[in-house]
Amino acid sequence: MTTADPDETNQQDSPRRLRIAEHFLALLGRADTKPVLDLLSSTARYHVSGMHALSGTYSSSDEILAHLQELAVRTNGTLEATKWDDWLVGDFHVAAIGQLHMQANGQIYEGRHVFLFAFDTSDKIDAVTVFYEDSAAASRFFYEI
pTM of the full structure:
0.88
Q: How many domains does the chain have?
A: 1
49 part of a folded domain = yes
Say how far apart CA 36 and CA 43 lie, in whole Å. Answer: 14
74 part of a folded domain = yes
3 band by pLDDT with thresholds 50, 70 and 90 = very low
Which residue range is the domain that position 80 belongs to? 8-144
The DSSP H or E segment spanning 70 is helix 61-74
More confidently predicted of 116 and 13? 116
3 part of a folded domain = no
Domain of 61: which CATH number? 3.10.450.50
2 part of a folded domain = no
82 part of a folded domain = yes
Q: How is 80-127 classified by DSSP, letter by letter? A: EEEEEEEEEE-SSEEEEEEEEEEEETTEEEEEEEEEEEEE-TTS-EEE
CA dihedral 113, 21, 11, 13 (to 10 degrees): 170
C-alpha 71: how far from chain center: 12
